[in-house]
Amino acid sequence: MIKILKYSFYDLMRSRWSYIYFLFYLILGFVLLFLNNDVSKAVITLMNIIIILVPLIGTIFGVMYYYNSKEFTELLLAQPIKRSSIFLGQYFGVAGSLTLSLVLGLGIPFVLYGLFKSDAIFDFSLLLVTGAFLTLIFTALSFNIALSNENKIKGFGYAVLLWLFLAVIYDGIFLMSLIIFKEYPLDTFSLTATMLNPIDLSRTLILLKLDISALLGYTGAVFKQFFGTNTGLVISMVMLVLWTAIPVWRLSYKANRKDF
Amino acid sequence: MKVIHKLFFITLLLFGYFLSAKTIIICPTCKVKSIKEGIAIAADYDTLLIKKGTYKEYNIQITKPLTLLGENYPVIDGEDKGEIITIQSNDVTIDGLFIINVGTSYTTDYAAIRVVKSENFLIQNVVLEKLFFGIYLEKSNNGRIYHNKIIGDAVDEYNSGNGIQLWYSKNIEVEKNIVQHVRDGIYLEFSDNITIKKNTSTDNLRYGLHFMFSNDDVYTDNTFENNGAGVAVMFSKRIKMNGNTFKKNWGTAAFGLLLKEITDAEIINNTFEENTIGINIEGSNRINYTNNNFIRNGWAVKVLGACYTNVFSKNNFLYNSFDISYNSKLNDNSFDQNYWSNYTGYDLDKNGIGDIPYRPVKLFSYIVNRTPETIVLLRSLFMDIIDFSEKVSPVFTPDNLMDANPLMHKRK
């Protein structure tokens, strides 16, 4: 598995895409800091980018990589290698290189601008951690979609739809249901609904740091417990890990049974 | 000539002082062992010098003009039995005492130091701990409360008292006090012409500073941090609020500043930082908000009905989750030349003022007002999209509510 991981990783490195991705974040980080001179505003802008762009790129990249390397995968399948290690190796290769580009691309400008000296270090590392998780989650989801669809166009379509659904449509439905059922106690429902969408989940994690004063304005014991103590942070982190683990598990499960 | 006059006057005063006033020394091993004893034998304008030690006394009545001067903070322990010092005379000074264990009662407001119907008093350098009410002024005028430290241990509102309470008192200066862990840090009721300066009021159960039916008061350069609500100004007129800091007042009903039925006030040069609600305004008219900083609050300003002719100008609104929130479509307040960190317009003629107006009320804040649970959708892409559509054509928010001249750069 490590060998395949390494291969996928270097393959991506050679293909320049990860450099472009890395450079994009690097430039973004510098521009943000250069224009704002204020870490708190930069962190807000970064949050928007991380919860929208990172999942999109993870999804598209994952699907693309899977379909592109399909012939090579079939070649590997003919070799005496465990199936799960082939697919997991490829997955971790892609996800790892994307995560590395993200963390280095955003990390370098912030470190150069004296992040270690400012007190925003925790907020910022939380941003990077959620960004990394989102990459892992959405790459895994897109690999799952690609594995289940032989047709490239269909696979792409589903992947983009998945992103659109989780990034925009889900929140719309969520909001509508909150407004329609506003006569009922909704705090448990709204927190659960947040947990069931990785994008909302990462947003909540960042909000815990950024807008905690507003979040504490709502009267509700469940909210207070969730946002006012460390419970929120712990639960959200556990959910993020679950969101990564389940698609990865399904990937290896599906790969073992698929008829190529 | 003037100087000579003054000198002459001072010499006269000093002479008078040395001639008439004497000093009575009180200490556990002296002839006079208790403060009550000292007061009993003292003549008018005497000084009681209280040496270091513990005095277990309560209900100390000061009925003549005296100076109680503590040396190295002598402890007066009330043993939770009741009120400790009651001043019922003009010209009393209390300086440098450490008073603990004031009695708690559900029927009487026991205080560490109570001033009743007296004038020209001075209470300074006093430390109060384990108290019910701290310093309680009752129909007393022209006094000064300076540099005291009041540290309570209040847990519930119903059985705790206020740090400094002014009731029907006029022309008082409250300066450089530190008040912590009581119900209301400083409480004013029917008290006019009060100056409250450079105090620090933190961790109080209810309000850091609380005005009720008090007019023409000024409070400047105070710090209010982590209280139930920083300052509550209710049913009062012509209050001036300058240069104060309101910080970290977090919670479901927590405000930096709460204004209720206030008219003709001035709010200038204050800083509101990380409060759930920076300023909560209800039924308040003709108030000028100028040069304030609103930094990282949940709601910088929340307007709840019946607020007319308020003017917000030259303020900085920086990184608040919501800048302004309204609960109606009606607006009679004006916003002019503020800096809004969320402003996305441009300035083509380079005059430092944005070319397109800024609308501080977002559709989302309107939704959150109606369905509070939707707060979990804060900063989601969907919300940004509908906020944008509302910005382009306002339907739910007051359409004349805007800052026509938003600043491009933060006001220093």
Cβ burial B140-158 (10 Å sphere, 16+ → b, else e): bbebbbbbbbbbbebeeee
Domains and CATH numbers, chain B: 21-227 (2.160.20.10), 252-412 (no CATH)
User: B242 has which bridge partners?
Assistant: B220, B268
> Pick from A187, A194, A214: which is nearest to B276 by CB?
A214
Q: Taking residues B355-380, what's their average pLDDT?
A: 88
What is residue A43's DSSP assignment? H
- Say how far apart CA B247 and CA B294 lie, in whole Å: 10
Asked if A167's CB is within 8 angstroms of B373's CB, the reply is no
Summarize pLDDT for B147-161 with one digit per residue, the tens.
999 999 888 888 889
Summarize pLDDT for B68-93 with one digit per residue, the tens.
999 999 999 999 888 999 999 999 99
Residue B378 main-chain phi, psi, to 5 deg: -55, 135
- Say how far apart CA B287 and CA A225 lie, in whole Å: 37
- Say how far apart CA B397 and CA B365 lie, in whole Å: 9
With a CB-CB cutoff of 8 Å, which residues 205-234 of chain A face chain B? 207, 210-220, 224
Domain spans, chain A: 2-250
> With bands split at pLDDT 50, 70 and 90, how would you rate the model's confidence at A69?
confident
For B16-74, strand residue ranges (E) read 23-26, 47-50, 54-55, 60-62, 67-70
Summarize pLDDT for A73-89 with one digit per residue, the tens.
888 888 888 888 888 88
Summarize pLDDT for A213-255 with one digit per residue, the tens.
777 777 677 777 787 778 888 998 999 999 999 999 999 898 8
What is the pLDDT, as a whole number, of residue A115? 67
Residues in chain A closer than 8 A to B379 (CB atoms): 44, 47-48, 203, 207, 210-211
Non-local CB neighbours of B297 within 8 Å, separated by 6+ positions: A213, A214, B256, B272, B273, B274, B275, B276, B277, B278, B320, B321
Residues in chain A closer than 8 A to B275 (CB atoms): 213
> With bands split at pLDDT 50, 70 and 90, how would you rate the model's confidence at B11?
low
What is the pLDDT, as a whole number, of residue B7? 57
Residue of chain B with shortest Cα separation from A53: B381
Summarize pLDDT for B269-284 with one digit per residue, the tens.
999 998 999 999 999 9
**Number of other CB atoms surrounding residue A256 within 10 Å:** 11
ipTM: 0.84
- Say how far apart CA B167 and CA B352 lie, in whole Å: 49
B100 contacts B76 by C-beta, under 8 angstroms? yes
Summarize pLDDT for A173-189 with one digit per residue, the tens.
999 999 999 888 888 88
Asked if A171's CB is within 8 angstroms of B380's CB, the reply is yes
Query: Angle at CA B2, nearest 5°, toward B1 and B8?
Result: 90
Q: Taking residues A55-80, what's their average pLDDT?
A: 89
Residues in chain B closer than 8 A to A186 (CB atoms): 371, 373
**Number of other CB atoms surrounding residue A74 within 10 Å:** 10
Q: What is the mean pLDDT of chain B?
A: 90
- Say how far apart CA B59 and CA B142 lie, in whole Å: 24
Radius of gyration of chain A measured on its C-alpha atoms: 20
What is the pLDDT, as a whole number, of residue B8? 55
> With bands split at pLDDT 50, 70 and 90, how would you rate the model's confidence at B166?
very high
Closest CA to B292 of B308, B271, B275: B271
Asked if B377's CB is within 8 angstroms of A44's CB, the reply is no
Preferred mutation among B248, B276, B380 to probe A, highest tally of A CBs within 10 A = B380
Q: Is the pLDDT of residue B225 over 90?
A: yes
Q: Is the pLDDT of residue B14 over 90?
A: no
What is the pLDDT, as a whole number, of residue B144? 94
Q: Is the pLDDT of residue A38 over 80?
A: no
**CA of residue A197 relative to chain centroid, distance:** 11
- Say how far apart CA B334 and CA B253 lie, in whole Å: 26
Non-local CB neighbours of A245 within 8 Å, separated by 6+ positions: none
